[in-house]
Each structure stands twice: as structure tokens, then as C-alpha cells.
């Protein structure tokens, strides 16, 4: 199931889709179907161009991104989901998930800091400890491999300590699905998205291709697909 999910996720990337169209064009040439081959090749070029534009990327992001409250309320715990870029030196930089969570804890918005995700939970916990978070304030959930498991496994840890109200930290485009998963588990959620660094795209020429725009388009398409799958499976 995990392999199938990964394959489907990769197929949502515009570059992979354009490559498949290019392969189809090559096959059509070998089959002596020049018009169909030209159409397939043209579609590949047009799609990769459009998918790489800030105009499309930002439009897709707008349908997903969750804004942060001007001043989040105090809560029982701060939950930081793995999957983002880890700080290299300064763990207090709020442009990362780790920095956003650490700043919230230092500012006293919640006494407990929980990190979740098999990919980064242990690294996040070590970084937070080095940044001054006492072991008694840290909770580690390091077995989850997807957002559903992030929420389910973290909820077990939270409820064991009588905690039910969290500040959730993840990326802006991931927040909609992540918050829905935690609410499905009975946790009250206040979204506090980390800065995803895409503000510069708004200042770029809307219809000129950019690699970072293509990356954002791919992430958004995968997120839209994930939302549909999670609804179908009853996880949100």
C-alpha cells in the first residue's frame, strides 16, 4: 500500500507527467503517427511551462494555505510535525517548523512541546533539548509515517497526560489536512503554520517559469490528492 501511495504521489508531479507525455510522443513517432506525436509533445511542453509559473503555483497554494492567527491563544501543548527543513544553526528562526515551535514554547504559549514523525522526531527532540527545552517538557512520537498516524499516535500521548488543546505547527499548505486529522481524533487545534518561503513568488513575473514555482505546484497537487484520499478513508 505504501509503495502504491508513493507511486501515485510521484505521478502528481508535473515533471513526471510531462515526461510521460514525451515518452508517448516518441512511441507515436515510432508508430508513424506524426500528428498525435506532435500533439503529445506540445502538451508536454505547455503543461511543464504552465506548471512552472508563479501564477498557477500561487493559485493552487491559495486553496490550501491556512493563515496563522495574529496572536495564538495559550494551549496545553505545541505539536511540531516533521517533514520540514531542519535548522542548520539557529533553532529559533521562525521560518522553519522547528523554529516556530521553539519560539511558541519560549514565549510561554504552552508548557509541553511534542514532536511527531518517524523521519525527524528524534532530530527535532535533540535540537530542542540543545536549545534549552527541558526533557520534562518534551514528548516524542517517532513511529508515524504519515499525517493520519501523526495525529492518531500523538493523540494517545496527549490524552495520556490529560492534554486536549494544541497549537499545531506544520507548513501552510499541509495545515488543512493535518489540523483536520487531529480534530478527527478529538483534539482542539489552533493552526500556527511555519513560513513556507513562497512570498517571493508573488513578486516574480506571473507567467515566466521558475523551478521553485514548479516545486510548489507539485506539492500542492499532491496535497489536493491527499485530501481526497483522507476523506475517502475517513481520516478527516
C-alpha cell at 185: 481524533
The predicted pLDDT at position 89 comes to: 76
The predicted pLDDT at position 24 comes to: 96
pLDDT at 59 over 80: yes
Long-range contacts of 157-161 (CB under 8 A, 24+ apart): 157/114, 158/76, 158/77, 158/79, 158/114, 158/187, 159/186, 161/112
Radius of gyration of the chain, Cα coordinates, nearest whole angstrom? 20
Q: What is the 3-state secondary structure (H, E, C) of 76-116?
A: CEEEEECCCCCCCCCCCCCCCHHHHHHHHHHCCCCCEEEEE
**Taking a C-beta distance cutoff of 8 angstroms, is the pair 120, 92 a contact?**
no
Q: How confident is the model at residue 70 (pLDDT cuts 50, 70, 90)?
A: confident
H or E element, residue 189: strand 188-191
DSSP 67: P
CA–CA dist 65, 50 (Å, integer) = 21
Q: Write the Ramachandran bin of 49: left for phi over 0, alpha for psi from -120 to 50, otherwise beta.
A: alpha
Average pLDDT on 189-218 reads 92
pLDDT at 7 over 80: no
Q: How confident is the model at residue 6 (pLDDT cuts 50, 70, 90)?
A: low
The predicted pLDDT at position 2 comes to: 55
Model pTM score: 0.90
Average pLDDT on 134-139 reads 96
For residue 44, how far is the Cα from the chain centroid?
Answer: 26
Least confident among 27-31, 66-70, 152-156, 215-219: 66-70
pLDDT at 196 over 70: yes
pLDDT at 145 over 80: yes
Average pLDDT on 184-193 reads 96
Q: How confident is the model at residue 8 (pLDDT cuts 50, 70, 90)?
A: confident
As a residue count, the chain comes to: 236
CA–CA dist 221, 205 (Å, integer) = 21
CA–CA dist 124, 112 (Å, integer) = 14
Q: What is the mean pLDDT of the chain?
A: 92
pLDDT at 85 over 90: no
Out of 3.20.20.60, 3.90.320.10, 3.40.50.620, 1.20.1070.10, the CATH code matching 77-191 is 3.40.50.620
In the chain, what are the domain boundaries?
2-64+210-233, 77-191
C-alpha cell at 65: 494555505
- Scanning the chain, the segments in alpha helix (DSSP H) are 2-11, 14-30, 34-51, 54-62, 97-106, 121-130, 147-160, 172-184, 211-233
Average pLDDT on 219-234 reads 96
Amino acid at each position: 500500500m505504501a509503495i502504491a501511495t508513493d507511486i501515485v504521489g510521484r505521478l502528481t508531479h508535473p515533471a513526471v507527467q510531462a515526461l510521460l507525455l514525451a515518452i508517448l510522443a516518441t512511441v507515436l513517432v515510432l508508430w508513424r503517427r506524426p500528428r498525435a506525436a506532435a500533439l503529445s509533445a506540445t502538451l508536454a511542453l505547455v503543461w511543464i511551462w504552465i506548471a512552472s509559473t508563479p501564477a498557477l503555483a500561487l493559485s493552487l497554494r491559495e486553496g490550501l494555505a491556512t493563515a496563522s492567527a495574529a496572536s495564538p491563544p495559550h494551549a496545553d501543548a505545541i505539536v511540531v510535525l516533521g517533514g520540514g527543513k531542519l535548522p542548520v544553526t539557529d533553532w529559533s528562526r521562525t521560518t522553519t517548523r522547528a523554529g516556530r515551535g521553539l519560539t511558541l514554547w519560549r514565549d510561554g504559549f504552552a508548557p509541553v512541546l511534542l514532536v511527531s514523525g518517524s523521519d525527524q522526531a528524534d532530530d527535532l527532540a535533540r535540537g530542542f533539548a540543545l536549545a534549552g527545552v527541558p526533557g520534562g517538557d518534551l514528548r516524542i512520537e517517532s513511529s508515524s509515517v504519515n499525517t493520519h498516524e501523526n495525529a492518531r499516535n500523538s493523540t494517545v500521548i496527549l490524552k495520556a497526560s490529560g492534554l486536549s488543546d494544541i497549537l499545531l505547527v506544520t507548513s501552510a499548505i499541509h495545515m488543512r489536512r493535518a489540523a483536520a486529522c487531529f480534530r478527527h481524533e478529538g483534539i482542539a487545534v489552533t493552526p500556527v503554520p511555519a513560513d513556507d518561503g513562497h512570498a517571493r513568488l508573488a513578486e516574480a513575473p506571473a507567467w515566466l517559469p521558475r523551478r521553485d514555482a514548479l516545486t510548489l505546484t507539485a506539492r500542492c497537487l499532491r496535497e489536493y490528492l491527499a485530501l481526497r484520499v483522507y476523506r475517502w478513508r475517513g481520516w478527516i
